[in-house]
Amino acid sequence: MDSTQVDTASRCAPSESEPADRLIVALDLPSVTAALGLVDELQGQCRWFKVGMELYYAAGNNIVTHLRERGFNVFLDLKLHDIPNTVAGAVRSVSSTGASLLTIHAAGGEKMMRAAAEAAARPEAPKLLAVTVLTSMAAPDLAATGVADSPETQVLRLAKLAQNAGIPGLVCSAQEVEAVRQAVGNDALLVVPGVRPAGTQGSDDQARVATAAEAIARGASMLVVGRPITQAPDPSKAAAAILAEIAGA
């Protein structure tokens, strides 16, 4: 990780960062052309972009390298979940891309997360985030997988497990972020997806959502926003509105 990434990642603490350091725009798009077209529209406004599985599987490491060469920070959202040795190998494999953040699934267990943390100990490796419970899941969805507890209870269980395994950050919804912040302390990087602009009707396929202002007020470090920006008639205007919400929070 170069000095720019270190400096940017260090500004994620809520008390120190600017709005643009706290907004991650999700490039959940099917092609490099579509993704870079959106990046061009948001040039000068946004500093962070998320590369998820859809775009990564289409473009590979090249899209991460390209974004880094243009001066952006990259959240590589691959949600790694496999046996410890395989996940550790994957962490090592993507470390050369220059991504600042990388997700693994906390549901993979403590041994898997410890292996990932050890693989990410090298200077150039991304900071790891453990995904707790997907924001698309509500209590009935969890129950169908055999988890009888509420989403908040499960999120807190996995958050503490990840912290014990040496994972420095977490992904959770805004509905749990306040409780997670209290449980894991101020040093943890808490990234919150499922953010919708104030006044938005509907939540797409997200079950646990909140506005940007609500998420920040509850203790989120950074926010991930996708369709409210990427599918807006004017993505630049939509991003500006969310940045204003963050600033107002």
Q: Which H or E run contains 153?
A: helix 151-164
| Tens digit of each residue's pLDDT (9 = 90 or more) over 204-240 | 545 556 889 999 999 999 999 999 999 999 999 999 9
Compute how many other C-beta atoms are within 10 angstroms of the C-beta atom of residue 179.
Answer: 17
Q: How far apart are CA 228 and CA 48, in angstroms?
A: 16
pTM score, two decimals? Answer: 0.89
**DSSP secondary structure, 47-69, as one string:** -EEEEEHHHHHHHTHHHHHHHHH
Q: Is 79 marked active-site?
A: yes
* Residue located via tokens 């998420």: 215
Helix, strand, coil percentages for the chain (3-state, nearest 5): 50, 15, 35
| Tens digit of each residue's pLDDT (9 = 90 or more) over 154-203 | 999 999 999 999 999 999 999 999 999 999 999 999 999 988 776 554 54
Domains and CATH numbers, the chain: 3-248 (3.20.20.70)
**The one-letter amino acid at 243:** L
Q: Which of 212, 208, 201 is nearest to 249 (CA)?
A: 212
| Tens digit of each residue's pLDDT (9 = 90 or more) over 78-122 | 999 999 999 999 999 999 899 999 999 999 999 999 999 999 999
Candidate list 50, 79, 111, 127, residue with the active-site label: 79
Q: How far apart are CA 140 and CA 164, in angstroms?
A: 28
